[in-house]
Structure 1
């Protein structure tokens, strides 16, 4: 992670907590790398991003970032990936997460945040090790059960 202190937004990121939240998000990724890793499939990437976002919310009590609530549940529900797509090693990461393809910008971040939130709601209180070591398949199974109806957190 690099920080450009000459960036005109730098001081604001300190005062509004954005930099703090981004560091916590990236720390979660670093801790997960020591366990199951970020992942290679679409499903694993959705879980890694979703867990990192929910980790920030849990630790700091913050609201979702703009990319974690950028797409409505109805739009997400209409384009949920199936099991084959979730398991794909060759997926369009930029399309899912940055909107460079047919999906809305940040759809992957929003979907991952919702999936992880649903899993957390079902799992209840979890310990620190579970936050970083839970298998992506476990989160996906709970997070996508019955689509996205009745979303958690």
Structure 2
């Protein structure tokens, strides 16, 4: 597992937290190495005020099989807690899952495929570290989920409104709906197929996961 950190600090110094951040990323690397074959990865680590999830002071993004980023905002009031509660290692694990899925079936173009990719990444990180769902993975109760369930046409559409379904942009769907629904869908698949190996975690077809969950029965 050759993971290389690249510190982008032109817009803010991360020196006071570098050792802690690096240790958290190393914890993620070691956990991932226990399940997935070795692979090379570049990780961009940057500080950008306000460009994070407000509830954590952090965020991540996957770009392609060998590249992801971790963005941090030490001025966010929740950042200190994220250093202590494992948020950074789980964020990296989540983005690493996306990176490895990019190398296989891909993130996906349809809403159904996106739900599965996000749910897999979230459940993968939670499983590696025996962690409860993140706030965006348990943001809505069953009644709200049912009220906004996508139709079969929605699930298969190639032009779905990703920002609307996942972030609540435009006000049509609640914030984090897609993350919560995807987490639940993948949870049902895991209940039927417990303890998947690394190959299955990364490469399982989206249709197979959707078929295992009543939350996507409309597919």
Q: Which of 77, 89, 93 is equivalent to 2:158?
A: 89
Q: Which of 101, 108, 130 is equivalent to 1:61?
A: 130
2:50 equivalent to 1:7: no
User: Offset of 1:64 from its aligned partner?
Assistant: 0.5
Alignment root-mean-square deviation, CA: 1.7
Q: Which runs of 5+ in 1 are unaligned?
A: 148-153
In 2, the alpha carbon distance for the partners of 1:108 and 1:2 equals 26
Give the structure-1-normalised TM-score.
Answer: 0.89
User: Offset of 1:91 from its aligned partner?
Assistant: 0.9
- Equivalences for residues 1-153 of structure 1 within 5 A: 1-4=44-47, 7-9=74-76, 10-101=79-170, 102-144=172-214
For these two proteins, the number of residue pairs brought into alignment is 147
Helix, strand or coil at the partner of 1:3: strand
Helix, strand or coil at the partner of 1:90: coil
More strand by share: 2
Q: Which runs of 5+ in 2 are unaligned?
A: 1-43, 48-71
Q: Per chain length, whose mean CA-contact separation is higher, i.e. which structure has more relative contact order (CA < 8 Å, sep 6+)?
A: 1
More helix by share: 1
Helix, strand or coil at the partner of 2:74: coil
In 2, the alpha carbon distance for the partners of 1:144 and 1:37 equals 24
Give the structure-2-normalised TM-score.
Answer: 0.63
User: Offset of 1:11 from its aligned partner?
Assistant: 4.2
Instruction: Using the TM superposition, name which of 51-60 and 70-79 deviates more.
Output: 70-79
* Structure exhibiting the larger radius of gyration computed from Cα positions: 2
